[in-house]
Amino acid sequence: MNKKFSTLAVAAMLAFAFTAYAGPGHVVTKLAEGNNGKQYQLTTYHNDKVQYLTLEGHDKALKLTSAEDLDKIGTSLWCVDVTRENEGKNPIFDFTNKAGKSVLDVTVGGWNVDWDKATYSGLWVDKNEAHVGGEVRGWEFTPVLGSDAATGGVYMFGSDAKPGTDADAFAASTSLNKKLYSLNSYISTTHVATLVWDEEAQNADGTKGQIKVAVVKADDLNNSALAEIQIKFFLQEAYPVNLTAEQFNTILDTQDAEEKVKMTFDKDYNNTEVINPFSTNEFN
């Protein structure tokens, strides 16, 4: 197919791969326990840009990617599974990347022996860029799963993140009512793994800056020095984009381009007896 398709149009068509977006480009205000059946973007505001947590295809490296550099939207989409913990504990979030089909898991092997130690006590930072494929998964993120009430609700990312809130505007806001959260995973009863930003790390293309895994004492999670490098996110619905033929045929890099695509509509025939050729036939 040579046409470009809006994700708003094809999302509902490809039911086995997509769920129609309830509010494109909006901040997520509520999630349910279990698999939420949709794909979201983990968004932050860094270096005066809205950036998404993405997964590099060839080496499974975690990246921060701005919208203008996002050539494969599937790398920024994450399925979210939520597990409620015992009373008094934050829910646990598991993320699976849409394009890479990889779980957001990292390794902390050798953290107290091989990693560089920071300039203050209680923080160890990996020397290498963060990659998925490790023993640490299941992240504390937002303390509440939120509400979708139009008014009077308790929203996942603060009182400014009401239903219908534009994600870009929210990301750039300096309001004290904006709540972004780090991803934290306990590796022991006393230490936590988290994602941080190393501004000086050198990349192969000559640019600087990498996501790295850090281990910190649980009691030091609110340390001001950690706050300077710790990456904090919110969840958003993806904005509408134009899909290229390749993105359409591969269903955002989840199948080979040679495989067939079959659309699904809701309601399929729009209360008529006319056969819908797009949902009846497979094509590429």
Q: 14-53 burial, b if ≥16 CB within 10 A, otherwise e?
A: beebbeebebbbbbbbbbeeeebebbbbbbbbbeeebbbb
The Cα–Cα gap between 249 and 3 comes to 11
Q: What domains, with CATH codes, occur in the chain?
A: 1-24+240-284 (no CATH), 29-237 (2.80.10.50)
Looking at the whole model, is its pTM more than 0.95?
Answer: no
Question: Going residue by residue through the chain (284 aa), what tens digit of pLDDT does each one get?
Answer: 444 444 434 443 333 343 333 468 999 999 999 999 899 999 999 999 999 999 987 789 999 999 888 888 889 999 999 999 887 789 999 999 998 789 999 999 888 777 766 555 678 999 999 999 999 999 999 999 998 888 888 999 999 999 999 999 999 999 989 999 999 999 999 999 999 999 999 999 899 999 999 999 999 898 878 888 999 999 999 887 556 666 566 655 555 656 767 666 655 555 566 666 666 666 66
